[in-house]
A = this chain, B = another copy of it.
Amino acid sequence: MIDKNISSCAEAVADIKDGDTVMIGGFGEAGSPIELIHALIDQGAKNLTVINNNTGSGRVGLAALIENEQVAKMICSYPRTANSLVFPELYRNNKIELELVPQGTLAERIRAGGAGVPAFYTKTSVGTPLAKGKEIRNFEGEDYVMERGLKADFALIKAKRADRYGNLIFNKTARNFAPIMAMAATNTLVQVNQTVSLGEIDPEHVVTPGIFVNRIIEVTNPQQESQLVKSGVVYPPMRTKVGE
């Protein structure tokens, strides 16, 4: 019997280890699996490499994970946002490593990792500092840069609906990186707004087939990052500053 539902976010993230690579879905707050991230903060795994388009905002979610000094390295395309407080400070103090990747190259590297492609060529970044040190190769008179597939030990993503096989559908632009991260991770953990019975998701509409999903946690009313930031919420609640 296949039933990927589990009972808590804590159980979902229990076996993430120090040094693991963790992909986290979301583009800004859309699709950010904030309850799973908070469970990972409670769990405490350190020295993580985290892959996300951004670095979070305020002092909740991904930003809080970074503030809690669990992240040794970020792989992302845009580590600055209006409310990004945590990452810039740690970065300037050399307390966190950054691998800056163009957004489309990041997406394709993740998709390649999930599709069993160890490397591919792209025109993106040719002639720029982000191609430095990378192999350049000419095909039909055009230069391309070789980029490597990205895999992860875990992916933490958010979806709208799941069945017990792990078939997923998403809500609007909250889909973003989740389907490709689900493919690229050994263990894909999904918080969903709603779990449904087998057959309730039309096979034609499935976005992420269950084969790419390992654990499902129903979080009926997920918190909204922007609301938390606006309210000045800090996670975990007792902390006022890094290290205290």
Contacts and interface: CB of A to CB of B under 8 A. Distances in A.
Contact of A122 (B116, B137, B140, B204): B116
A120 B122 CA distance: 10
Contacts of A108: 115, 117
Given A204-B169, A204-B205, A121 B122 contact: no
A88 interface: no
A137 B121 CA distance: 14
A119 interface: yes
A120 B123 contact: no
Interface string A152-169: 000000000000000001
A127 interface: no
Number of copies: 2
Nearest to A122: B117
A102 interface: no
Interface in A131-151: 137, 139-140, 142, 144, 148
A119 B116 contact: no
Given A169-B204, A205-B205, A121 B119 contact: yes
Q: Is the interface of A mostly helix, strand, loop or mixed?
A: mixed
A118 B117 contact: no
Contact of A117 (B121, B140, B172, B207): B121
5 contacts: A116-B122, A117-B122, A119-B139, A119-B144, A120-B120
Given A169-B204, A205-B204, A205-B205, A118 B121 contact: yes
Contacts of A204: 169-170, 172, 205, 207
Interface of A: 108, 112, 115-123, 137, 139-140, 142, 144, 148, 169-170, 172, 203-205, 207
Given A169-B204, A204-B205, A140 B121 contact: no
A94 to B, nearest CB: 29
Contact of A120 (B119, B169, B205): B119
A205 B202 CA distance: 10
Given A108-B117, A118-B142, A119-B144, 12 more contacts: A108-B115, A112-B120, A116-B123, A117-B122, A118-B121, A119-B137, A119-B139, A120-B120, A172-B203, A172-B204, A204-B205, A204-B207
